[in-house]
Chain A
């Protein structure tokens, strides 16, 4: 209160003279806007945000309008939307976009389904529940590089554990890295392994806020465990599911580390014929292998637009559902 007091008499002076002793009430909102210390307290976040998020974001947009190379970022020539036109006409872009989509679907759908199932199981009263919850979060705490290298070994063509197992049961070896589907499935497995537990914990937290009486009511209404899951759990989790879908989709569009390290030699080409090159890899290749930083910036912005569209569609779906609920 003392902080705002210096500006208060002036505000009062602007008012017509009060008829009685009671001063005109100074509204709380006006006093808050005058509170300079408040801005000082929130400033650090906005400084960091401006320096490391907003500025790069806008600068990338500016760079994407230039023909420029990595060695001389500021010295490019302005070419308008040329980079975007090139991008849309490039078969590499469409290949990467398609790969990103298929890997994204292959990873996100099973990941969220499995997370839901795991959360449902962990929601029961189990012995060592804390232990299982911790174990589930372990993959998330593992570095992408370490996990991917281990998985690359597992999926190895000649000495990989999976192929050995396949052979043991009489099936043929699969060249996991060489094929389009096989490589994308392998990468999707890594992503799924890493993120299932994380999503399961989010679902579990949401499940624990569902009142137990609802399940008892459903039980008395004659619902089996499965029907309870279908008619009580899933509808109650709907906002949470929407949230995880958005988060996983954003993650899928930005997929980079797993396909980069999957081949074992860290190239950005995404396999010999680009069979698992994602948009993230393509962007990196354009900027840091081919040194066309302007083109890379355009790709980055294209990825941002894709995410924006997906999130927007989700928001619209969420709002329509909410309206239907009313």
Chain B
């Protein structure tokens, strides 16, 4: 068990001007499950590989526990990693795969067998110990990769998109299993994914990265309720938060033909630089209100999912040429509502569900 700490850690790939990871400052507590999430190319995998020792650190440092491991090879870091493609040794049996690290470390055969058996029991792999990876299904291979990590009893687990090669249903199942398993073992874990649902459901804390920069690191609920900037607001949550930019006018922001009220001091600060304001509201926080209240939208598509329904709408009276600021609004409503495409609706946003951002800096304004 140990803490993990990135201190101004930077990685610049050769022949690249922009750092893949730019001055990353991140502390992971002992036993914490931290998820690194972001779109592809955001530097999340590179950060993980820097922690693993598979990637050089150009400046700054990486600490595991109190030990500076910036320049240590992977084997001195006491970490175990689960790879996206599992990277199981094809010529070894499941048991040999899981015990390989212990064998290299010179652990006694009987102890290896015991630890492998214990891990196999946890992961329900006892029947497959003599098989080779080739003869296993994708889900089983994934579990072997997990087993190889937990047999080591390392200080830190590193997981690089370990679920992305599974089908959708198995992914959801395995997601909860991994989270429960890691909780039980109490091992510090750094987990990389591009899937924000995975991030929200598994992580004690979630770090959102974009273009090599850490944008926000917070507990899932905090991330959802108080996104620090426009990117996090749009990235976390499915369907995404509605983000609309409009001119600041007296009392609020102009959306299409109407004005959405925004508290005066937040409006003033957000509009200070550009005279425009970005407002965000989640699909589920929108309320249907009577005509004349709130703002007006026109329904394009209605999606019925059974448990709820989503209306894909656009602002009535929005400037159709303003392509840079799409004025689409997604609304969650009761299932089996009678709304039809083409219908006009009036929507209201409760004041506490309104997020305000400065379009010039993309930062949240409170």
Contacts and interface: CB of A to CB of B under 8 A. Distances in A.
Interface of A: 211, 213-214, 216-223, 227, 231-232, 235-236, 238, 325-326
Interface of B: 52-54, 73-75, 79-81, 83, 85, 87-92, 100-101, 104-105, 132, 135, 148, 152
A110 to B, nearest CB: 26
A235 B83 contact: no
Contact of B100 (A213, A231, A236): A231
A235 to B, nearest CB: 4
Contact of A214 (B75, B87, B105): B87
Nearest to B83: A213
A326 B132 contact: yes
10 smallest A-B Cβ distances: which pairs? A221-B101, A222-B75, A213-B87, A235-B91, A217-B87, A220-B74, A222-B104, A219-B74, A220-B81, A213-B83
Contacts of B74: 219-220, 222
5 contacts: A216-B54, A220-B53, A220-B80, A221-B104, A235-B92
Given A219-B53, A231-B89, 18 more contacts: A211-B85, A213-B83, A213-B85, A216-B81, A216-B87, A217-B81, A217-B88, A218-B89, A220-B74, A220-B79, A220-B80, A221-B75, A221-B101, A221-B152, A231-B100, A235-B89, A238-B91, A326-B132
A218 B105 CA distance: 12
Contacts of B81: 216-217, 220
A211 B87 CA distance: 8
Nearest to A212: B87
A308 B148 CA distance: 44
A326 B135 contact: yes
A235 B89 CA distance: 9
Contacts of A218: 89, 100
Given A232-B89, A235-B91, A216 B105 contact: no
Which of A213, A219, A222, A235 has the most chain B CB atoms inside 10 A of its CB?
Answer: A222
A95 to B, nearest CB: 42
A273 B81 CA distance: 64
Contact of B101 (A216, A222, A236): A222
B280 to A, nearest CB: 39
Nearest to B154: A220
A223 B73 CA distance: 11
Contacts, number: 63
Contacts of A223: 75, 100, 104
B60 to A, nearest CB: 22
Contacts of B100: 218, 221, 223, 231
Contacts of B132: 325-326
Nearest to B132: A325
Nearest to A222: B75
Contacts of B105: 222
Given A211-B85, A214-B87, A219 B54 contact: yes
Contacts of A220: 52-54, 74-75, 79-81, 101
A211 B85 CA distance: 10
B227 to A, nearest CB: 34
A239 to B, nearest CB: 11
A325 B104 contact: no
A211 to B, nearest CB: 7
A314 B62 CA distance: 51
A227 B91 contact: no
A326 B53 CA distance: 34
Nearest to A219: B74
A68 B91 CA distance: 55
Contacts of A217: 81, 83, 87-89, 148
A214 B89 contact: yes
A221 B75 CA distance: 7
Given A231-B100, A325-B91, A216 B83 contact: yes
Contacts of A222: 74-75, 101, 104-105
Contacts of A326: 132, 135
Nearest to A215: B87
Contacts of B152: 221
Contacts of A325: 91, 132
Nearest to A234: B91
A222 to B, nearest CB: 4
A5 B336 CA distance: 59
B320 to A, nearest CB: 49
A218 B91 CA distance: 13
